[in-house]
Structure 1
Amino acid sequence: MSERGRDFGKYGARGIKGHEVVARQLDALAGYFTTPVTFRRGLLVRLHYLTRSAHARQTARAAGLTVTDRTVKAWLEGARRPSKRNLELIEEAYWMVRRQNVARYLLRRLNSGGRGTRVEIHPLNQSQVPRPRQRVVEYRSLNIRQWDALVRAWTDGNDAALDDAWVQQLVDLGSQWGRYEYVTNVGFAA
């Protein structure tokens, strides 16, 4: 697509890719346990979440958490402490399982029976861009009726697919959709 940004930030514009903000918003809607995994309480909650069903254990193994049941039991009892790498794997596995568990609910909530969800797009920050190089970029909103591709890519943790799905939604903004590939914020509440 010719409209996509190639040299973003070359003249001082600041912002982040829209799909990254969408992923953060979906994570916030999914809800999660806020105590970090580095604290005992956060670790216990995540381990219980990852070991409560066969599906959760299988997904955790697919995410790379390949420790034995004996090791997990020792972590739960406090007899041993996971390494830094295992803490990272526990966190990744937790998010993978959490996303899969809430994906159907979020999809139903965001599609809202075909009515969709209104999305507010806050443009990139051009305060550091020299005046002659600034573009006219304003706050925009659109109604996304089909969230299937976005939620599927978010659930799989596939950034490239999420970016493509987000750009497909931006095209509905018309000929200036490329101006909203990088943003300061994307807001939606379902």
Structure 2
Amino acid sequence: MPERNIEFGKFGARGIKGHEAVARQLDALAGFVVTPITARRGLAARLHYLTRSAHAREAARAAGLTVTDRTLTAWLDGRRSPSKRNLERIETAYRTVRRHNVARYLLARLNRAGRGTRVEFHPLDQSQVSRPQQRVVEYRTLNVRRWDRIVESWAVGDEAALDDAWISEVVVDLGSQWGQYEYVTNIGFAA
């Protein structure tokens, strides 16, 4: 794609890739447990989510949490604590399973029976760019009706596919200057 930025930030512009901002918004809509995993309450909430049914345990194992049921019970009872490595595995498994579980709901919520969701593009921050190098970039809105590839890529955690889906299905619809919105300060949508 001809408009991809090669040296973003060379003159002092600040922002993040659009697909990263979208992933943040989808994570916020997914409603993850807020309490950190290092707190007893946060660990218990994640473990209960991952062990509440046979299907949830199976999904947790598929996501990388491969400890015995006896160990899980000891962690839940507070008799033992998981190692740092296991805490990371629990967090990864929790986020993977939660994303998978809410993906279908989010897809229906964002597509809204073909009506789509209004998306706000907040342009990159050029306050540190000298005047001659600044671009005229403005706040834009767009109604997105096709969320399937975006939500699917987010649910499996594939950043490259999410970036490709975001650029090819949404950002290109902004017109001839779509390359100016590859990096943004924020992407907003209320679903």
TM-score (norm 2): 0.97
Q: Which amino acid aligns with 1:62?
A: A
String of CA shifts for 1:88-131, please: whole Å, max 9, x gaps.
11111111111111111110010001000000000000111111
Partner of 2:67: 67
Pairwise CA RMSD of aligned residues?
0.8
Conserved 8 A contact 2:120-2:142:
yes
- Report deviation, 1:135: 0.7
In structure 2, stretches of 5+ residues that fail to align are: none
Query: What residue number does 1:178 align with?
Result: 179
Q: Deviations over 1:70-90 (max 9, x none)?
A: 111110111100011111111
User: Residue 105 of structure 1 aligns to a residue in which SS?
Assistant: helix
CA drift of 1:59 comes to 2.0
Match of 1:78 in 2: 78
Q: Name the counterpart of 1:151.
A: 151
Aligned position for 2:20: 20
1:109-163, Cα deviation, whole Å (9 max, x unpaired): 1000100000000000011111111111100010100100000000000000000
Q: Percent of counterpart pairs with the same letter? A: 74
Deviation at 1:54, TM superposition (A): 2.3
**Partners of 1:153 and 1:142 in 2: how far apart?**
21
Residues 23-32 or 52-61, more deviating: 52-61
3-state DSSP of counterpart to 1:122: strand
Match of 1:162 in 2: 162
Amino acid at match of 1:38: T
Question: SS in structure 2 opposite 1:74?
Answer: helix
- Contact conserved, 2:171 with 2:181, CA < 8 A, in 1? yes
State the TM-score, normalizing by the size of structure 1.
0.98
Counterpart amino acid of residue 181 in structure 1: E
Q: Which runs of 4+ in 1 moved over 3 A?
A: none
Q: Greater shift after overlay, 50-59 or 157-166?
A: 50-59
Cα offset, 1:60, TM superposition: 1.5
One-letter amino acid matched to 1:154: W
Aligned AA (1:89): R
